[in-house]
Structure 1
Amino acid sequence: GIPDSSPPTAPLPTPKSAHASVSTTGGMSCSAPGLLDFVNASPTPFNLVSVASAKLKSRGFVELKEEEPWNKGALKAGGKYFFARAASTFVAFAIGGAFEASNGCKVVGAHTDSPVLKLKPVSKKSGHGYMQLGVECYGGGLWHTWFDRELSLAGSVVVETGGKFERRLLHMKKPILRIPHLCIHLQTADERAKLDVNKETHLAPILQMIESEVNKPKDADACKDSDARHAPELLSLIAAELGCAVGAIKDLDVTLFDTQGGQIWGPKSEFLSSPRLDNQVHCYTAIEALADHACGGGLAGDGQASVITLFDHEEVGSDSTHGAGSPLMQDVIARLCKAFGGDEDALRVCVRNSFLISADVAHAIHPNYAAKHEGNHAPLLNKGTVIKTNSNQRYATTAATGFIVRELSRRADVGCQEFVVRNDCPCGSTIGPIIASKTGVRTVDVGVPSLSMHSIRETIGCEDVVSNYKLFLQFFSGFEALDRDCSFL
């Protein structure tokens, strides 16, 4: 994986429960510090997929290619596999030793993306002596939280090498950008009260001062062949980071990110604040649970496939080649089924035997805004994973699928909470209803409770990281038996 970009900090005294980790004979552990390492190494979905791939390769998972056949001996009972689509969506699965084509899949779904600022296709921008970058708002961020923070760049870069083209990962650790607030003295009383951000004019970050021709660096000539859409100074920084010539950079899919690493805090070290917890926390717990189930002896008598699907583009609606609205989920189930000799009828049975836990962070009650929650549905930090219900189908939870999670939580000895939005408030949504409507797979929506959702830094409880992992591990190991005991028509 990519090393942590944050400077070392002295941790507060920590009770065992806050940093508790859970491990199996496979050796992997799940903990709040482990989550911080994962998030710090994953400033974009591209980096996350790279980190996830390295994690699972180290546990014996085999990489597959979507463009190659899977039905010619590529998949075997007891096997562990993963693949990426478009380098920002990640799928991994472990096939039970007793798997048959129609047996079904146990799926945990999450998403890899978060609200961010992304470089525009033409990012070169300047104003009043400052060199700036043109950025586009991705998703629905609390954009005022991006002001006055030390920012840098990460993502995917297309590079020419020897007449061929390849994708390279970028993760610039050095702070190089900042979006300054306007000082209070230059704001009217109305402007101060509104905290109003114009997304086009107020969010352009400063890169550096514009230098005169006399003061330009000696290597300016090396930038003559650079892409005219971007500032040569920016491309020089990226080229130095990647170890390539400036002219070799052909295109960018690059995101701004906060260089300050995540932090565990509080007198009892019970809270964790970090960028991108929505939804990297569930990417982390899903990866850890799948690996521990697959490598801890759980596959031997397992009759189903255990799957994780981590989609890009959830924050912008999921309609893309590799979002939850794509055929990806159907493709995975169909190819698994057919690789084990299943026909169309077996595929339909496999779908009906499958179950999806759609995992995306939930709204914890905020002590300063308690009236925003309905009194009987007010999740707390460190009290367990939240089941999200909405009768208008903004969440896919039903009485039957919600029961499954409550019972799995009971068997895993972890807390379980409930959330329903107030009738006079809008309700967000997740990948759950999208996948349920496209596949017919039984689905429940859940999530770790959080504060400051869509801020540049969000907050969760440390104990919820471990309890969510335990729930997923119980799902992979115990759902098949529980499902046999249920007769929900």
Structure 2
Amino acid sequence: MASGYIDDFAAFISASPSSYHAAAEVARQLVAAGFAAVDETEPWPVPEPGVPQRGVIVRDGAVVAWAAPADVEPGTPFRIVGAHTDSPGFKLKPRPTTGAAGWLQAGVEVYGGPLLNSWLDRELELAGRVVTSDGTEHLVRSGPLLRIPQLAVHLDRGVNNEGLVLDKQRNTQPVWGVGEAQVEDLLAEVVAVGGVLASEIAGFDLVTADTQPPRVFGLDGSLLAAGRLDNLSSVYAGLLALLETAGNDGGPAPGHISVLVAFDHEELGSESRSGASGPILDDVLSRIAGATGADGDALRRAYAASWCVSADAGHAVHPNYQEKHDAVNRPIAGGGPLLKINANQRYATDAHGAALWARLCGAAGVPYQEFVSNNSVPCGTTIGPLTATRLGIRTVDVGVPLLSMHSARELCHVDDPRWLSAALGQFFAGA
């Protein structure tokens, strides 16, 4: 089993309760491995002849890192691993301190498409960023503070037979104490451990996160349960692949520029300045190319020769709902990462992408399996088609098979994330 990888991955999950924390943690590990933190507001560093270049930027809850080899020149293509840092849940509303019937509550708004019932009766924290009146940004997390309590079965006798239906406004507001909303201040509780005064906060982006740590369990410790496997499983796999191929102990592979991009706001449709529909990836790639002296034609030639592996979690066949899956293509947990295919281009994989993924997994010595949807159960989409559409870069969609996707706590086999990282490592290595 992949105990070392899973231990490190679990630590990454625990350090990343929000997209802002995840982006910061990726950058922290890369800087520790020799990548230079680059400021987007400053001129881009010009590569020194014969010297590899490594850099990383953080834009809000997104992060982009790159490793350019010593032989970089105008028109050098890119090999990009794309993922996303955000996960479904709840986001704190303005004027968040509310309450009723003697309980203190938090005003929250549904973020993305969470499985609402999975968030009930869990000890939650608030995590993200606050911005003080002078414009300074602070990352904060409250620790266990909130809980969305379910109605007792004695007061809802039909719930087990008729099903649980939750009103997104009325039934999802968590409690965090007892008292009067006019007296208490939820933000003060959130920032108290961070040394920020609530009176100084001028803005905030705070989301809920389950505080139960990742847990390995099951037969031979083969299963991993954790929050945010969608899509920190891909973020960490790409991070480790980049560290192992371009970190302090090795140089970037020749012939291409390795890029890791972890976008924010994928769960909302990616339409933001830090999302896959926004300009962030094009901004970074064009500035990297521009620093080599590439003009517009050289950049387009680079794009035409580039690849993107869009890595996002997918579905394993659920044993209790087998009819929801395709009758023939039936990926299992522990069967290897998924090659995600969709005739309607909800995934960007084509025949060339399938051939690339087969080659990468073969070079890494790991299995893989195809995923397609049941025709009666339309699938979601990823950053893959968005990247292919915006930049014209050939893209293939892959990911780790999960159960309980979009639950507060998802499930995977311990081998699949490690195998995904190994295949991505071969991608960065030039296989």
Q: Same fold (TM over 0.5)?
A: yes
Runs of 4+ in 1 over 2 A off after TM superposition: 71-77, 188-192, 230-233, 295-301
Q: Distance in 1 between matches of 2:174 and 2:44?
A: 46
**SS at the partner of 2:240?**
helix
Superposition map of 1:329-340 within 5 A: 329-340=281-292
**Which position in structure 2 is the counterpart of 1:223?**
none
User: Is the Cα contact below 8 Å between 1:385 and 1:464 reproduced in 2?
Assistant: yes
Contact 1:97 1:301 in 2 (8 A): no
* In 1, Cα distance between equivalents of 2:373 and 2:332: 15
Larger radius of gyration: 1
Name stretches of at least 5 consecutive residues in structure 1 with no aligned partner.
1-16, 22-30, 212-227, 480-489
Correspondence 1:328-477 to 2 at 5 A: 328-477=280-429
- Letter in structure 2 aligned against 1:392: N
In structure 2, the partner of 1:199 is: 168
SS in 1 for 2:430: helix
Q: Which residue of 2 aligns with 1:106?
A: 79
Distance across 2 between alignment mates of 1:231 and 1:373:
51
My pick for the range that moved more, 75-84 or 358-367, is 75-84
Q: Percent identity?
A: 39
TM-superposed CA distance for 1:112, in Å, is 0.2
- Displacement after TM superposition at 1:239 (Å): 3.9
Q: Which deviates more from structure 2 when the two are superposed, residues 248-257 or residues 64-73?
A: 64-73
Cα deviation 1:8-27 (Å, max 9, x = unaligned):
xxxxxxxxx241x4xxxxxx
Q: Distance in 1 between matches of 2:183 and 2:161?
A: 33
Alpha-carbon distance change, 301 to 360 in structure 1, aligned in 2, over 3 angstroms: closer
**Greater Cα shift, 57-66 or 181-190:** 181-190
Residues 68 and 252 of structure 2 are in contact (CA less than 8 Å); yes or no, is this contact kept in structure 1?
A: no
C-alpha separation between the residues in 2 aligned to 1:114 and 1:288? 20
User: Retained in 1: the 8 A contact 2:90–2:110?
Assistant: yes
CA distance in 2, matches of 1:75, 1:129: 68
2: distance between equivalents of 1:322 and 1:267?
40
* 1:297 to partner: Cα distance: 5.9
Q: What is the CA-CA distance between 1:194 and the residue it aligns to? A: 2.4
* Aligned-partner SS, 1:418: strand
Q: Would the aligned equivalents of 1:75 and 1:339 in 2 still touch at CA under 8 Å?
A: no
Q: Following TM superposition, by how much is the alpha carbon of 1:275 offset from its aligned partner in structure 2, in angstroms? A: 0.3
Q: Which amino acid aligns with 2:186?
A: L
Who is 1:262 aligned against? 214
Q: 1:52 aligns with which of 26, 29, 32?
A: 26
Partner of 1:84: 58
Q: Which residue of 2 aligns with 1:217?
A: none
Comparing 370-379 with 278-287, greater Cα deviation is found at 370-379
Q: Deviations over 1:173-214 (max 9, x none)?
A: 2x2211110011211526852211101000000111115xxx
Whole-Å Cα distance in 1 between the matches of residues 267 and 318 of structure 2?
22
1:25 equivalent in structure 2: none
In 2, the alpha carbon distance for the partners of 1:478 and 1:101 equals 19
Contact in 1 for aligned 2:50/2:71 (Cα 8 Å): no
Looking at structure 2, the residues matched to 208 and 202 of structure 1 have their Cα atoms a distance apart, in angstroms, of 17
| Deviation readout 1:38-76 (Å, 9 max, x if unpaired) | 001110011111211211111011011111121655898
Query: 1:62 and 2:36 equivalent?
Result: yes
Does the alignment pair 1:119 with 2:119? no
The TM-score with structure 2 as length reference comes to: 0.96
Which stretch shows the higher mean deviation, 443-452 or 373-382?
A: 373-382
Whether the aligned pair in 1 keeps the contact of 2:79 and 2:308 (CA below 8 Å) is: yes
Q: CA RMSD in A?
A: 1.8
Distance 1:76 1:334 in 2: 21
CA shift, 1:243, in A, is 1.5
Q: Deviations over 1:104-127 (max 9, x none)?
A: 000000000000111111212111
Whether 1:478 aligns to 2:424 is no
Tell me, yes or no, if the aligned pair for 2:98 and 2:106 is still in contact at 8 Å.
yes
Equivalent residue, structure 2, for 1:159: 132
The corresponding residue for 1:136 is 109
Q: Distance in 2 between matches of 1:179 and 1:427?
A: 29
Partners of 1:111 and 1:210 in 2: how far apart? 39
> Is the 2:246–2:252 contact (alpha carbons within 8 Å) kept by the matching residues of 1?
no
Cα–Cα, structure 1 residues 320 and 362, in superposed 2: closer, same or farther, change >3 Å? same
Unpaired segments ≥5 residues, structure 2: none
Distance 2:267 2:109 in 1: 14
Matched, 1:185 2:120: no
1:231 is displaced (CA, Å) by 6.7
Label 1:82 to 1:400 Cα distance change in 2 as closer, same or farther (>3 A).
same
| Aligned 8 A contact 1:98 1:301 in 2 | no
TM-score, normalising length from structure 1? 0.85
Aligned partners of 2:253 and 2:428 also within 8 Å: no
The answer to whether the 8 A contact 2:34-2:248 is kept is no
Alpha carbons 1:114, 1:278 under 8 Å: kept: yes
SS in 2 for 1:33: helix
> Residue 335 of structure 1 aligns to a residue in which SS?
helix
Cα distance in 2, alignment partners of residues 191 and 375 from structure 1: 30
1:449 shift after superposition: 0.6
Distance in 2 (CA, whole Å) between partners of 1:241 and 1:251 is 18
3-state SS of paired residue (2:412): strand
Aligned mates of 1:263, 1:405 — CA distance in 2: 30
Q: Distance in 1 between matches of 2:215 and 2:26?
A: 21
Amino acid at match of 1:328: I
Q: In structure 2, how many angstroms separate the alpha carbons of the residues matched to 1:355 and 1:76?
A: 24
Residue 113 to residue 231, structure 1, CA distance change in 2 (3 Å) = farther
Residues of 2 paired with 1:50 and 1:128: CA distance?
A: 39
Deviation by residue 1:286-330 (Cα, 9 ceiling, x = unmatched): 111101100366536512100000000000000111100012222
Match of 2:8 in 1: 34
SS in 1 for 2:219: coil
Aligned counterparts of 2:22 and 2:14: Cα–Cα separation in 1: 10
Among candidates 201, 211, 223, match of residue 271 of structure 1: 223
